[in-house]
Amino acid sequence: MSIIFSGIQPSGNLTLGNYLGALRNFAKVQDGNECYYCVVNQHAITVPQDPQMLHARTRQLAAIYLAAGLDPDQSTLFVQSEVPEHVQLGWIMTTLSYVGELERMTQYKDKAAKRGDSIPAGLLTYPPLMAADILLYQTELVPVGDDQKQHMEITRDLAQRFNRLYGEVFTIPDILLAHDGTRVMSLQEPTKKMSKSDENQTATIYLLDEPKDIEKKIKRAQTDSENAVRYDVKAKPGISNLMDIYAAVTDQSHEEIEAAYAGKGYGSFKKDVADAVISVLEPIQQRYAALVATPELDDVLTKGAAKAHAKAAATYENVIRAMGLYR
Ligand code: TYM
């Protein structure tokens, strides 16, 4: 049995990237493990959020977790801001972090570049809060997409730094990548990852997109003029991205896909990619619609916060004892 933790920010509508890179695996690993899945709303406020939107998206994300197969009897599902130890340990992790190592994070550099002269300090101190999320539960495995590798490395560094200074309090967590390591790219700029904060809506497939929109977006996805379904990320990033998506949703290899579409053009391939994506997302959308406005969802989150809090408080107590941070 392993302890597993992961989180998603309610900072925009979830994308196919979030699903294939992370969310899909949350349900797969829950059997026989102790799992914690969090709506990390305090991470979301590292960039400005509209209060009503943030509130609505927090609830929507929790419903999507359940719709994607999380079983509240097996996994603990909760909202970060309802367990105060996250920011408490986050502060301690901030004091253990070096400005230089935080400034080297690519996610920080990307997000800071969009903020001109007014870079919120929370963007810089995002990784120590993420480390706190993970370390509070004595987590062993963290299922995330490969864009989170750097954040996982700093989490391990901070845990080791703390243990060296104050004694063995934290378990050192490992990253758990999806077996196919899918990084879903933008449909319009396939050298850039698909992101919930992309302003170009045609570049992104959202989990709750209508089937006709999914079809339209995939049909318009950037490809090349060769018209041959062949995997080559460098020379053909657009078609390779569609092949990655198709491989992930149909469980086929690139070779199998190339063989099946030999001599056929992009039109028929794109149609099949769209159908396959729709058939995976439609059942999730139906479960989501049935759940999002129910009191059962609140019940799951209230119980989840209590369970998470019990575990987090025990670790936090060990932390403040080890540091002398008590009266
Ligand atoms: P967030 O909300 O940006 O993304 C949630 C998860 O989706 C994965 N992901 C992708 N995977 C494949 N292709 C893509 N295009 C793609 N876009 C996003 C991310 O890797 C992630 O697993 N820092 C985290 C949130 C977080 C967290 C944590 C995660 C805060 N505390 C503790 C794990 C443990 C993030 O930015 O997720």
- Looking at residue 269, which CATH number applies to its domain? 1.10.240.10
Is residue 111 annotated as a catalytic residue, yes or no?
Answer: yes
17 annotated ligand binder: yes
Model pTM?
0.96
* CA 312 to ligand 1 centroid distance, Å: 21
Q: Which atom number of ligand 1 is nearest to the Cα of residue 144?
A: 22
Specify the pLDDT at position 181: 66
**Residue-wise pLDDT tens digits, 262-316:** 999 999 999 999 999 999 999 999 999 999 999 999 999 999 999 999 999 999 9
Residue of 187, 268, 262, 186 whose CA lies nearest to 231: 262
* CA 237 to ligand 1 centroid distance, Å: 22
* Cross-strand bridge partners of residue 193: 185
Looking at the fold, whether 148 and 11 belong to one and the same domain comes out as yes
Is residue 196 annotated as a catalytic residue, yes or no?
Answer: yes
Q: What does each C-alpha distance from 35 to 30, 228, 273, 284 come to in angstroms? A: 6, 43, 32, 21
- pLDDT beyond 80 at 180: no
- Residue 189 counted as domain residue: no
Q: What does each C-alpha distance from 252 to 181, 194, 314 come to in angstroms? A: 14, 21, 44
CA pair distance 24, 247, nearest whole angstrom: 14
- Residue 203 counted as domain residue: no
Looking at the fold, whether 110 and 36 belong to one and the same domain comes out as yes
Looking at the fold, whether 29 and 166 belong to one and the same domain comes out as yes
Sorted by sequence, the CB contacts under 8 Å of residue 16 that are 6+ apart come out as 184, 194, 204, 205, 206, 207, 245, 277, 281
Q: How confident is the model at residue 141 (pLDDT cuts 50, 70, 90)?
A: very high
| 5 close to ligand 1 (CB < 6 Angstrom) | yes
Q: Which domain holds residue 231?
A: 211-288
- Residue 198 counted as domain residue: no
- Residue 89 counted as domain residue: yes
Looking at the fold, whether 177 and 28 belong to one and the same domain comes out as yes
Specify the pLDDT at position 5: 98
